[in-house]
Structure 1
C-alpha cells in the first residue's frame, strides 16, 4: 500500500511572539486561526509505548463545519507517514465505522492552527489544549526523495529561524496524553 508521504518536524515554541516576528521577517504571512477538533484512533492491539512505525492510525477532524477522515501509517519514524484523507459527511457514523474496523479512540486533540506556505513547505503554528504552542513544518515527498534527509533539511530551516524552539519526535496524541497523565 502506498500513497503520498508527508514528512514533518515538530517543535515546542517557547516565545510565540519572537517566532512570529522571525517568520514575518522572512515574508511569511500566517492564516487566520482555525479551530481543529481531532479524535485520534489506534489499531487494536497497539498501545502507547510500542513503536508506531508500520502501524496504521486514524483521525477524525472537525474544522469549520467539515469533517475529515485521515489514515496515517508511519514509515521511517512517527513524523514520516503515508497518508490518505477524505471528507466525510457524518463524523459520528464514521467514528462507529472506524471502531468497527478494529480501531479504538485514544486521545482528543483540540487546537487552534494558523498556517502559511513557504515554497513546498507548509508551516503550522499550533496552540494545543493541555500541551502549549508548537511549530510543525511539513513537506510532501517528491519522487525519489529520502524522508529522513528531508527531515534533516526541515530541521535546518527551523533552526535558521533564530527563535527558541525545542524539537520533539512525538505526535500530538502522545504529547497530549502525557500532559493529561501528569
Structure 2
C-alpha cells in the first residue's frame, strides 16, 4: 500500500478546523505523538530516503517503515508498513542490539479527521509550527488520488505549497542550518 499525502504549512489551525467540520468530517480524536527515528547499520536512510520509526501515542507503540518517496504522483507518496508492538521500549532495545542508531525524536500534537477516503491531520510540531496533512491510501502506483487530495485541500483552505519533506527531514534541516 502507498501513502499519498499533501502536507502544507498553515499559519493558524482554527480556520482550517472550522472548514473541515463544516464539511461534516468525522473527528477521530487528538493525540500527542512521540516519534523516535532510527538509522540502519547496513545503509544510510538519509541517502536511501527511507525511515524506521517507533511512535508512542496514548500508551500504544507502532513501528513504521517508510520506503523511498515515489515522484510520479506530484505529491509525497511512499510505501508505508506499520505494526503494533506490545512494548516500544523492548523493540527499541532490539534495534539498539542490532546496531540501529537513534537519529532524532519528533513531538507533535495531532487532531485527526476522516472525510470519505481521506484522513486529515492538523499538526502542531515542536520546533516547526503548524501544518495540515491530507492523506489517502492507494493500493498501488496505478491509482493516483492526487486530484482528490488537492480538491479537499482547496475546500479546507490548506492549499499552500506542498512540502515533500517529512517532519524528520524538516527538523534535521532546521538544526543543520542553526535556525
Q: TM-score, normalised by structure 2?
A: 0.83
Q: Secondary structure at the match of 1:167?
A: coil
Residue 144 of structure 1 and its aligned partner are, at CA, apart by 6.1
d(CA) in 2 for partners of 1:47, 1:70: 13
1:102-149 per-residue CA deviation (whole Å, 9 max, x = no partner) reads 432211111111111111111111111111111111111135634xx3
1:124 aligns with 2:121: yes
Residue 99 of structure 1 and its aligned partner are, at CA, apart by 3.4
Q: Which of 52, 73, 84 is the matching residue for 2:67?
A: 73
Which piece of structure 1 moves more, 156-165 or 126-135? Answer: 156-165
1:83-162 counterparts in 2 under 5 A? 83-142=80-139, 145-146=142-143, 149-162=144-157
Maintained 8 Å contact 1:79/1:169: yes
Call closer, same or farther: CA 1:145–1:118 in 2, change over 3 Å: farther
RMSD: 2.3
Call closer, same or farther: CA 1:155–1:102 in 2, change over 3 Å: farther
1:5-32 per-residue CA deviation (whole Å, 9 max, x = no partner) reads 2211111111211111221221224333
Gaps of 5+ in 1: none
- The number of aligned residues is 173
Runs of 4+ in 1 over 4 A off after TM superposition: none
Q: TM-score, normalised by structure 1?
A: 0.82
d(CA) in 1 for partners of 2:44, 2:141: 30
Maintained 8 Å contact 2:63/2:82: yes
Gaps of 5+ in 2: none
d(CA) in 2 for partners of 1:151, 1:163: 14
Residue 83 of structure 1 and its aligned partner are, at CA, apart by 1.8
Call closer, same or farther: CA 1:38–1:163 in 2, change over 3 Å: closer
